[in-house]
Structure 1
């Protein structure tokens, strides 16, 4: 063991962590993800992880993606600091194979060049009250895009009584974050409001993001048989970074930056009506809108990625009607859904950057050759679905789901899902799941005027997993094995300069989690993920997906008012693509480790002071070719709550 590893071990011994790991064993927890209606964890056979506000606060991370990094099965791909792209691969699938939602409203944007993957760098952390991650194909519930799983981020919700919270966090390199939150419930009415502002600072040269968020929620229970809920969120911000695959601060030929301004709005409205003791009906409407203007300097020497710019907008409307019929031993979900999507992008690429200017002409005008990069598309789809759930006995759960989707101008998609879970008296349980999924081609892949292909087929998935859990007073152990088969993956064909459906890809692996609480003031978690990727094309190397990742997290409640935390993460070797040499290359990035330390002191019940030291050992590493990871960052914060 080298000196750096020894220092890690010594630092970890006295600083022990996570309350959130114990929450994974809470079988009575009500979930809103992975099922058509709110239900207990025991009523879902899929592999699920839940992080609540206590868990998130205990970790005390500066970015939401660093919280998600602690979850088994989630693989993070980054491009430098806070201004760079941050995407997540679930169980080795493409980043756009995971549905990402806020309060049940889907955020995936099919107009972007990543085919609809979500940039997690755009999300603040203060408004997040709960995160639910469901693994495996979930298209029978969520339709297109849910080939690998679902991540549902739930913001500040109404709470009994009235509560007001003020928080602020400052750190090195210009880091700033502050928020105010109000919420309460009285006489059947509930409200929540959260205002937040964040500035990442610039710990990584050229990479910075600033944003403002507003989250609001209303709930009304006019009678004991019905409930109405509204959720609204808007976020606007701006960012700059070195262009993706440009070689970043370490290898880019020039230091011109990619710049973007964006605004996103989501609205969710739900009406739940208990018609009889055995029949509940739910009507849910959601709206998501996003606008973005960006300008990229391209990647010198511009042969593959010229300068380009665009103004894009996207809108998704979704209306779903779900009925739950039955009791505790046998129940049925059935309903209908309609989705409408519209996307537009107006932009151009300057191919004059690669054309030498004739000497008699001024270079500033001779070198401008704009090629339009624009599209405008819309589509609608209708779906009908059914799910049968039964308990053959109190300890055996069987689930079967089917869905029929009819997208306009595309073939019908019929998909199925099956799950089984068996509980035993000694705290041991086993589960098995099999499912299918599909993803409609993104608007960018279909319509981009330079690379678009209107004949693309939907991407499809078939996956299965088996898992086992054991829980006792002090231990929680979870182990699962998964296997995914993806077909018709959409990739870029260099030879024909267009998007195509390519060969199949298989991913498989295992996820392991062990939580040990030897004392009520002490808890420790170990987790590990192994992912093996096998492509039919031997030359295809999927980027941003390390074969091995894992970590050790720990919490020590030193006294009634003081706690200390540590989170040690290991990320194995991974492939990363780059264009900084003028042609596409794929390199292998070295493995690296990080250690984050945190402490909290509750001065009085209403006032808490916090401190955090991220990447405490200041280990240097790259998370993309030429893009350094963030260096050591010291932060201090204050949280004041009153009722």
Structure 2
């Protein structure tokens, strides 16, 4: 980010702080109206008990919860729950042993694609969310097949951004929220400013955020150049986010809205470890210090929405419709100077992009049929998509047939442009029995998808181009049955069976990477969608003072998509054309993941509180009798805190067991030792500055060296210590509400 841009954002922050102060002064005449704002997930009055009501398998985190745990970006999400993990390598959330595009992420009801080019390391999607824009975060464990379609095998992360109504509480016409923080883990600072205004029944929100930082620290201690390096490569990044919303309320429970959002992340990385051989050797690939990589992550969306909260004899009790356009772009631009043939400038500008246009509509109606109350929830979820991939660049090869350049694939595409269509129709009926103490909810969803490769000139430049692959299309019915029983006051027992599915991605269907005389990695247009049968039983009990939950689950997956080695005959290519091997996406027959989760909390009357949780999972390919590397180790959390009206402090211990059950038991690369971490946080809300909150935390107090097992790739030449987590770090943040 240029100095001009930085000065612009700092100026915006200063103006925002000044305006916030002026707004606060304007309200000073009414002391009751200067109380600190408690952000609430307000959409339409009463909606939390209807369309968006969490299920028994859902944990809801509000903006206040995120603030208390200092979860202000995706890296911190593991602090919320021991069963939720973020994978730095794949940029995805892991729930119950599944990650990548097997966990669905949504923002304001719109799917966030998880992209992967399958060859050049361009992948991700969930990190294109600015957590300072969030009002609530729902964690849905397991598949909720009747409400969510493709990709919800492991669970769902449902994000809701701030609405202007969240700031304009108690009848105010103006509201402001200013946030700022510093995190030593990557030496980053951020500023975020939100304004909301109201004119009669028209509400407006404008929010902007900026973050700048460096590489995320680790515990590696080997520097210098070459593949033996374990210290993180030096990096600098800039992140921008803009969010605009306008809502028009109309008598009768109607609300119309428009949203525009843009997220940009640019990270410049000095790749000191980039070499196939030691940098000081005669066969070194690049001139030391010349290899740079720029990662770009960009998400844009425009959406219009309609929300309705009916009353009386309306034909619908509640409804919500959103029409949207969204584009997600992931890019990696690498450049260096080669000192082996072809000597000279080297560049690879790899880009993967998905554009979606879609609709998400849901309605709710409660009716009396006989002696029972039926609450029907039904809707449609459909979108058209276009996926593009390209690899541009330069090198000094002597023509396309130079055998010494067989590994340098450039100015081509690894797959054609793919147009797609996806449609989901769903319905569920919550039947209330025995005065509502027993609720039985059957549900059914139908999903259909189609992928159509298009003529793509860059794809025809691919040295392994053998014509365009066939279209891919399939459909699936996914039923669900859930039962909930109020066994006693504040005690709910539940059981659920649900099926779910995941459609193959464009990469898995159509990727072609490699060249004659070397290797080949190809997609498979005949892939079947992944399917699952999931079983959950558990209990939720208590209230805000004392409560908890317990769940046990067992999930069976069929046609699990994986990338494996195949023969030339299986790949349909001439023998000997790819002597270094051929890999292809295939369907694995059977995979099983089972486990258990438990949480509890207790708040004493004198200001003390305690909480804890534990998560355990086991996953195997039951045909091959091998464990899955996507399964995290057993993890437990225990916390103790004390709070008054103006200040508080929390102490937390996290214990993680060793992970030894991995796909390749003869290798220690994916195995990780157990560890215990200690964190302490504190906050202060001074009485003389209403709405001000200052918070700080020290993490990994004893500077423990440890690994998040999910960050370690299945294989690689990078030393294992490169994937260690940061040592002792601290974070400080300030929030001012008016």
Mapped contact 1:282–1:323 kept (Cα < 8 A)? yes
Cα 1:462–1:200 change in 2 (3 A) is farther
Cα 1:148–1:368 change in 2 (3 A) is closer
Cα 1:65–1:368 change in 2 (3 A) is closer
Cα 1:608–1:506 change in 2 (3 A) is same
Pair 1:489-2:502 in alignment: no
Mapped contact 1:156–1:215 kept (Cα < 8 A)? no
- Show CA shifts across 1:64-119 (max 9, x none): 3323443243233334xxxxx43222111243211101111111234544999854
**Structure 1 residue aligned with 2:253:** 225
**Structure 2 residue aligned with 1:375:** 416
**Structure 2 residue aligned with 1:286:** 324
Mapped contact 1:401–1:417 kept (Cα < 8 A)? yes
Cα 1:116–1:187 change in 2 (3 A) is farther
- Which residues of 2 match residues 61-140 of structure 1 at below 5 A? 61=71, 63-79=73-89, 85-113=90-118, 118-140=124-146
Mapped contact 2:335–2:347 kept (Cα < 8 A)? yes
- Which residues of 2 match residues 156-175 of structure 1 at below 5 A? 156-158=162-164, 159=166, 160=169, 161=172, 162-172=174-184, 174-175=187-188
- Which residues of 2 match residues 125-524 of structure 1 at below 5 A? 125-158=131-164, 159=166, 160=169, 161=172, 162-172=174-184, 174-185=187-198, 187-204=200-217, 205-206=232-233, 209-240=237-268, 256=291, 258-273=293-308, 274=310, 276-280=313-317, 281-295=319-333, 309-327=349-367, 329-347=373-391, 368=408, 370=410, 372-392=413-433, 393-408=435-450, 409-450=472-513, 451-471=522-542, 474-495=545-566, 496-519=582-605, 521-524=607-610
Mapped contact 1:77–1:544 kept (Cα < 8 A)? no
SS at match of 1:140: coil
Shift of the alpha carbon at 1:339? 1.8
SS at match of 1:65: helix
Bigger shift: 508-517 or 546-555?
546-555
SS at match of 1:56: helix
**Structure 1 residue aligned with 2:649:** 564
Please report the TM-score for the alignment, with normalisation by the length of structure 1.
0.81
Shift of the alpha carbon at 1:144? 1.2
Shift of the alpha carbon at 1:461? 1.2
- Show CA shifts across 1:16-62 (max 9, x none): xxxxxxxxxxxxx9899xxxx75359966541101111111111245
Cα 1:545–1:296 change in 2 (3 A) is farther
Cα 1:197–1:43 change in 2 (3 A) is closer
Shift of the alpha carbon at 1:155? 1.7
Bigger shift: 146-155 or 44-53?
44-53
Mapped contact 1:166–1:641 kept (Cα < 8 A)? yes
SS at match of 2:132: coil
- Show CA shifts across 1:338-388 (max 9, x none): 3211100011699999xxx99xx9x9x898454752431011133332211
SS at match of 1:444: helix
Mapped contact 2:105–2:156 kept (Cα < 8 A)? yes
Cα 1:323–1:123 change in 2 (3 A) is closer
Mapped contact 1:175–1:202 kept (Cα < 8 A)? no
SS at match of 1:420: strand
Please report the TM-score for the alignment, with normalisation by the length of structure 2.
0.72
Mapped contact 1:318–1:338 kept (Cα < 8 A)? yes
Mapped contact 1:176–1:201 kept (Cα < 8 A)? no
Q: Which has the higher strand share?
A: 1
**Structure 2 residue aligned with 1:18:** none
Gaps of 5+ in 1: 1-28, 80-84
Cα 1:333–1:481 change in 2 (3 A) is same
Mapped contact 1:45–1:432 kept (Cα < 8 A)? no
Shift of the alpha carbon at 1:210? 2.6
**Structure 1 residue aligned with 2:460:** none
Shift of the alpha carbon at 1:278? 4.5
- Show CA shifts across 1:131-187 (max 9, x none): 011122123212211112211111222233222122221243532111111124553
Shift of the alpha carbon at 1:634? 2.4
SS at match of 2:262: strand
Shift of the alpha carbon at 1:539? 6.3
Pair 1:632-2:728 in alignment: yes
Mapped contact 2:329–2:354 kept (Cα < 8 A)? yes
For the pair shown, the structure with the greater C-alpha radius of gyration is 2
Shift of the alpha carbon at 1:211? 0.8
Mapped contact 1:129–1:154 kept (Cα < 8 A)? yes
Bigger shift: 319-328 or 547-556?
319-328
CA distance in structure 1 between the aligned counterparts of 2:366 and 2:528, rounded to whole angstroms: 38
Mapped contact 1:546–1:574 kept (Cα < 8 A)? yes
Cα 1:441–1:407 change in 2 (3 A) is same
CA distance in structure 2 between the aligned counterparts of 1:489 and 1:350, rounded to whole angstroms: 38
CA distance in structure 1 between the aligned counterparts of 2:51 and 2:154, rounded to whole angstroms: 20
CA distance in structure 1 between the aligned counterparts of 2:55 and 2:183, rounded to whole angstroms: 42
Cα 1:611–1:268 change in 2 (3 A) is same
CA distance in structure 1 between the aligned counterparts of 2:321 and 2:144, rounded to whole angstroms: 20
CA distance in structure 1 between the aligned counterparts of 2:436 and 2:256, rounded to whole angstroms: 32
